[in-house]
Structure 1
């Protein structure tokens, strides 16, 4: 199982949005589907999407989807897992079983 989710920053607090579990690993098509059907509908206009440098995040289609909705995609510096808060959040949520009864595809 693999988990997809986003962290929505509100003031100093962050909340997890659009959590989804998938069987197996996440590929570009899976990520694109999650982004367009799960995450984007929950975002306010002109949101900034911050992601790591995984190849599936750098596909031109991802920027196109964001641009269509008025969002901006920014990438974390390479080799900077400490800046990737969602990785730490997802790991702790999986340990707590938050994703156990969640949405699956």
Structure 2
């Protein structure tokens, strides 16, 4: 998940026939991103990592190998959505190294993803 102050105001309220105005910052702040796991059994966030910038395959794989997998027991099943950075061949190799299984959700099914409810 990432956030910044880059806004696109598409709608607003005004009197009939009058233009709608809104205030936005004249500059863009640095993007902050968060990557985390969710232990469904314990109902806890695990392996939380916050950083500047966007999430890509390299960053996700590094987090997966250095933060998430070491905190899991062997034979754990990891549920992921179909984000492009979740589907690299290196990620599968890392999962095999730690003896964990990755289960991908069907496309467009955030209702099945436990971390979406956090």
Give the TM-score, by structure 2 length.
0.70
Measured in 1, the distance between the counterparts of 2:82 and 2:69 equals: 19
Matched, 1:4 2:58: no
Measured in 1, the distance between the counterparts of 2:33 and 2:113 equals: 17
- Alignment match, 2:83: 54
Query: How many residues get paired?
Result: 87
Residue pairs, 1:33-72, within 5 angstroms: 33-72=62-101
- Alignment match, 1:79: 108
Measured in 1, the distance between the counterparts of 2:35 and 2:117 equals: 13
Equivalent residue for 1:22, pick from 31, 51, 54: 51
Measured in 2, the distance between the counterparts of 1:57 and 1:78 equals: 13
Contact 2:40–2:114 (CA under 8 A) maintained in structure 1 = no
Q: 1:20 to 1:50 in 2, by over 3 A?
A: same
Q: CA RMSD in A?
A: 1.1
Measured in 1, the distance between the counterparts of 2:46 and 2:94 equals: 18
Measured in 1, the distance between the counterparts of 2:109 and 2:99 equals: 27
Higher RCO (Cα < 8 Å, 6 or more apart): 1
Measured in 1, the distance between the counterparts of 2:113 and 2:53 equals: 22
Measured in 2, the distance between the counterparts of 1:71 and 1:85 equals: 18
Structure whose CA Rg is larger:
2
Q: Which one has the bigger helix percentage?
A: 1
